[in-house]
Amino acid sequence: MFTPLDIELFMLVSFVIASSIILYFILNHGKPYAIFFYNCFLKPFSGKVTSVKQQDSLESFYKGQAAIYDATRGQLLRGREEMLALAAAQLKLRVQKKKEAESTEGRVWVDIGGGTGYNIELLNKFLPVQQFFEKVYLVDLSPSLCEQARQRFRRLGWKNVEVLCMDARGFNLEDRKVDWISMSYSLSMIPDFYSVVDSLSILLSPTGLISVADFYVQSSTTFSERTFTGGAWDRHVNWFSRQFWRIWFEFDRVNLDEGRRDYMEYKFGTLLNVNGRNRLLGGIPYYVWIGCQKLHSAADVLDRVDAAATESPYLAAINSLSSTHSSKTSAETALQLRSKGFEAAVLNLAANLPLPSFFYQIHHWRLYYDELLEKHTQFNNSYIYAFTWEDPRVDHRILKINRDDVILAITSAGDNILSYIIDGAPKRVHAVDLNPTQNHLLELKLAAFSSSLDYKDLWKLFGEGHHEKFSTILMENLSPHLSSRAFQYWWDNRAVFSKSIGLYETGQSRLAIKAARWLFRCCGVAGSVKRMCEARTMNEQREIWQGEVRPVMLSRWVSKFIIGNEQFLWRALGVPPNQRDMIREDHEGGDHAQAMWDYVVNTLDPVVDQGLLGEDNYFYLLCLKGFYTKRCHPSYLTEKGHAKLSKPHAFDGVRIHTDEIKEVLGRLQSETLTIAVIMDSMDWFDTDGIEARRQIKALNNSMKLGGRVLLRSAGLRPWYIRVFEEEGFKAKQVMARHPGAYIDRVNMYASTWVCTKLERVSSGRRESSSSEVDMLEI
C-alpha cells in the first residue's frame, strides 16, 4: 500500500516534470504557450462536471485559448497528421478498388470533436477535401472552437463543410450512413463515451472507416489475452507513467483510462494500430487506430477471405457455423479444424468479439499468429537476415517451378519467394518463418509492389537500402497493404531506411558484414575491395583477391578470433551449434578450429575464382558494398520483375505463416504441396532425430506423390537424410562441394539434396504408386 507521503512525493515529482516541460515551451515560443499554461493549469473551471453542463465545462476551458489553440497543440497532440494520412490512404485505395463511376458519389466525413477544423484543413494535404467529399460535418460541443472553425472555412471558401455545435450523442443523418468518422483527441474528453461509440457504430456505413488518435495508458495485464487488437508491441505503459499521466491530464478533465480505447476496439474491427510515445514532452503515450465495421457472421467472413483457393483450411469449413455459431456445440465442431486463424475466428465470433485484425486487411497474405508466445518473442523484435542467402537460380534449375506447383518455402528476407513468383508463377506459395519480423520484411516488399510504387522508389528502398521519404511512403502508399503488426514494426523502425543506417546495415547478420568492413579498413584494403567489386574481368578480380584482399580476409588471426568464435558464428552468421558440429565431423583429422577454417576457405576461394562479383554475384557484392548496383541485383529489383510483380493479383497465391514448419505442415490439407524449399533448417535439429522425424513425417503427409523437398546442408551427408529415406522419400545429392568446387553463387553449403516422395507413410503403413514412381527422377 502507498502511504500519504508516497502519494505527496509522487505528485511533487509529477508537478516538477510537467512544469519544466511547460516552462521550456513558454521560454521558446512566448505568448501562445503562456496563455495555454494559464488556461490549462492555473485558471479554475467554472462548469460543473455533469452531462447537462458538459458544454459549460468545455467552454470554460477553451474560451480563453480558442484563438491560440492550433498554435499550441502541434507538439502536444502527436499522431493527428499520421491518422489523417493513414485514413486517406485507406479511402483512396477503396475508391480505386470500386472503380467509382461518380466523382464523389455522396461520400460523407464526420469529424467528432473537430474543434477549430484544423484536421479538416490538414487532410487537404492528403486528399482534396472539396472534390473527394460531398459533405463534411464538424461536430464539437465548444462554441468558441466552433466559431474558430467557421472562420477557417469562410476564409478557405469551402462550401461542403458544416460546423455543428452539439453533443455528439445527438448527431445523426436519419437514414444516411457515413464513409468516414474521425476522432482526434476527443474520445478522451467525452464523459459518456459508451453511448457515443455506440451511436458511431450505427452511423458508419458497412464499408466505412473510423479513425482515432488520442492519449492512453494501459498495462499488459488488461490486453494480453485479446486476439482482436492490432498488436501488443509497445502498448504496455509502465506503472509510473500510468499514474503520472492519468493524474496530470485529469486536471483538465482528459481521461486516459484504457476503457475508451478498449471499447472502440470491441465495437469495431481493427485495420491498423500504432502505439507511440511523445518523447519531446516526457514520453506521453498516444495511439493511432484505424478501424472498420466488425464482421458478425460466417457469411461476412466468407465475403472477405479467399478460403476456397488455399490449401490451408483457413476458413474453408466456415459454413459449419450457422446463425447459432455462438452455441457451444458449433464452436466445438469448428475447433476440430486445424487452422489457427479459423480457431481464433470461431472463438471471437462465439463471444461477439471482432475477428483478429488480420481478417480485416485488404490482402489476406498474412495469417493469424499469437505474437506474445515465447517462440516469437525470443527474436527480440528483430530479423536476422536483411537479404536471402540462398541462390534461387539453382532452385529454378533443379525444381523447374511451374504454374501447377504449390510451394512451401522459408521466408528469410523474401527475395527467393519473389523470384519463384517472377520466374515460375506457381499456383500457391506458403512462406514460413518463426521470426515475425522476417515476415514483416516480406510484407513490406509485397506492399511496395501492390501499391504500384514506381521503380525509382522501389530501387531506393531495396536496391540502395535507404529512402529519404520512407515515412511518407509508408503512410501514404504502403500502409493499406500491410497488416497492423507489420505496419507498427516499420513505423517504429522507419529509421532503418535513413541515409545514416540503411536496410542492409540492419539485422543480426549485419555483425558479420560490419566486422569484414572494419577489418578491411584497419588493414588498408578497403580500396582493393572496391576495385575487386568493380572488376570487369576474371583475371583482374583474381589478382586483387589473391594479392591484396585474401591475405587479410583469410589470415590466421581472423580465423582464431573471429571465425573460431562461437558467439560470432551464432549471432553474426546464424550458425547453430548442431550445424557447426556437422562441419567438424566432415573434417579429416578432428581439428575443430582447422575444420571451420577450411570450410570458409572452400567457400570463398571458388566464389572469387569462378564468378564475377560485380556482374553476377549480388550476394557477396551486397556484403562488400552494403547495397546492390544496377549491374548486379536480385530479379525482383529488375524493371521486368517490377512490372510483373506490380500487376493486380500478383500475390493472390501468397500465404505468410508465422510458425514452425512442422506446425504449418500439420495445418495444410494432405497431399497438396508439390515443392518444399527448407534451406538449411534441418541442420538445426538435435541429432536424436525425434523432432526431425516429426517434421519429415509432416512433409510426407502434406506432399503429393512425386513432391520434392529441396534442402541445403553444411554436411556432405547429413544424418537426417537416412530419416528421409525411412519415411517414404528417395534422397538424391544433386550438388556436393569439394575443395575448389563452385556449386552456386553463395557456395556456402557443403551439399544440396532433393528428397522425392515415393511412398505415403501413414500410421506405420506405406503406400506407393508405381505409375508415379517413374516420373520421380530429377
Helical segments of 305-339, H only: 328-334
Tell me the C-alpha distance between 769 and 178, whole Å. Answer: 60
Question: Predicted confidence band at 60 (pLDDT cuts at 50, 70, 90)?
Answer: low
Instruction: Report the alpha-carbon distance of residue 68 to residue 37 in Å, rounded.
Output: 12
Q: Which helix (H) or strand (E) holds 577?
A: helix 577-586
SS (H, E, C) 28-77: HHCHHHHHHHHHHHHCCCCCCCCCCCHHHHHHHHHHHHHHHHHHHHCCCC
Give the highest mean pLDDT range of 130-134, 507-511, 737-741.
130-134
- Residue 121 confidence class, pLDDT cut points 50, 70, 90: very high
d(CA 573, CA 512): 6
Grid coordinates 521550456 are at which residue? Answer: 24
Q: Is residue 336 over pLDDT 70?
A: no
Residues contacting 421, CB < 8 A, separation 6+: 429, 644, 645, 650, 651, 653, 654
Lowest mean pLDDT among 315-319, 477-481, 685-689: 315-319
- List pLDDT tens digits, range 486-504: 999 999 999 999 998 999 9
What number of CA atoms fall less than 13 Å from residue 122's CA on the CB side? 18
> Mean pLDDT over residues 97-105, rounded?
58
Q: Is the pLDDT of residue 25 over 90?
A: no
CATH topology of domain 377-448+633-773: Rossmann fold (3.40.50)
pLDDT for the residue 511: 78
The residue ranges of every structural domain in the chain are 4-70, 78-89+102-293, 298-356, 377-448+633-773, 510-625
3-class DSSP state of 278: strand
In this predicted structure, which of 56-60, 557-561, 603-607 has the lowest mean pLDDT? 56-60
Which residue, 39, 36, 75, is CA-closest to 59? 39
Q: For residue 23, give every residue at least 6 positions away whose Cβ sits within 8 Å of its Cβ, in sequence order, or none.
A: none
| Under 8 Å between Cβ of 384 and 440 | no
Sheet strand arrangement including 729-736 = 654-657, 428-432, 406-410, 673-677, 703-713, 751-757, 729-736
Above 60 in pLDDT, residue 208? yes
Q: pLDDT higher for 366 or 338?
A: 366
Q: Please name the residues in contact with 594: beta carbons below 8 A apart, sequence gap of 6 or more.
A: 587
Print burial letters for 339-351: b (CB count within 10 Å at least 16), e (below 16).
bbbbbbbbbbbbe
| 3-class DSSP assignment, residue 397 | helix
Mean pLDDT score, 376-402: 94
Q: Cα–Cα distance between 440 and 2 in angstroms, integer? A: 43
- Name the least confident of 65-74, 444-453, 511-520, 695-704: 65-74
For residue range 688-747, what is the model confidence (pLDDT) as tens digits? 889 999 999 999 999 999 999 999 998 999 999 999 999 999 999 999 988 889 999 999
Inter-residue contact 271 to 357 (CB < 8 Å): yes
pTM exceeds cut of 0.75: yes
pLDDT at 248: 82
Over the stretch 152-180, which tens digit does the pLDDT of each residue have?
Answer: 999 999 999 999 999 999 899 988 899 99
Most distant CA pair in the chain: distance in Å? 90
Neighbouring C-beta atoms of residue 301, cutoff 10 Å? 21
78-89+102-293 matches 377-448+633-773 in fold: yes
Helix or strand run (H / E) with residue 654 = strand 654-657
Using DSSP, state whether 152 is helix, strand or coil: helix
CA 558 to chain centre: 37
Q: Do the Cβ atoms of 62 and 142 come closer than 8 Å?
A: yes
Domain 78-89+102-293: CATH superfamily, name plus number: Vaccinia Virus protein VP39 (3.40.50.150)
**3-class DSSP state of 617:** coil
User: Which strand (E) or helix (H) includes residue 396?
Assistant: helix 392-399
Q: In the prediction, which pLDDT does 702 show?
A: 93
